Amino acid sequence: MPIDLISGAGSLQERKHTVIMVHSRTVIRDSIQLNFGQFGLAASLGALQVKYVNPVTKLCIIRVSRDDHQKVWTAITMVRSIGKIPVSFNLLDVSGSIRACRTAALECDKAKFEQYKLAAGDCIMPEIILSVQNCFDKIRGLES
């Protein structure tokens, strides 16, 4: 499930990205428990994994079993913040294989980075470009 993470604008962007990366799985797990109870959490927790988060484009890949994907989708829709940072999850694609998910995520990530480069203009730092290239490599390296 490639997911677009939309966070509220503000200062301290790096801190926000770190908080979002670290706490994404916890927030999803808590939302499942809140909306579906202990049984719902226990049923879906075994297969729930946050496989990838890009701090620049805010793309997130979540792996979940076929039986529980609607439950997780509903739970992430209910999430409104991670820590004190307002966020919104936007489901981009549901795929049956990591290969199809990888392709969709890579296309989306590249398009979002192009938008980022246009918005930043000449002010884009080489560290950010390197970071994004590393993220692209991480997507390509997701196991089959």
For residue 34, which of 1, 80, 83 has the smallest C-alpha distance?
80
What pLDDT does residue 10 have? 47
Name 110's bridge partners. Answer: none
3-class DSSP state of 51? strand
pLDDT at residue 1 in the model:
63
* Ranges of each domain in the chain: 2-140
Prediction pTM value:
0.75
What the block records as the tokens of 74 is 């509903």
Averages of pLDDT over each 10 residues, the chain, 144 residues: 57 54 82 93 87 80 89 91 81 87 88 86 83 86 74
Furthest C-alpha separation in the chain: 51
CATH for the 2-140 domain, from 3.30.70.980, 3.30.70.3250, 3.40.50.300, 1.20.1740.10: 3.30.70.3250
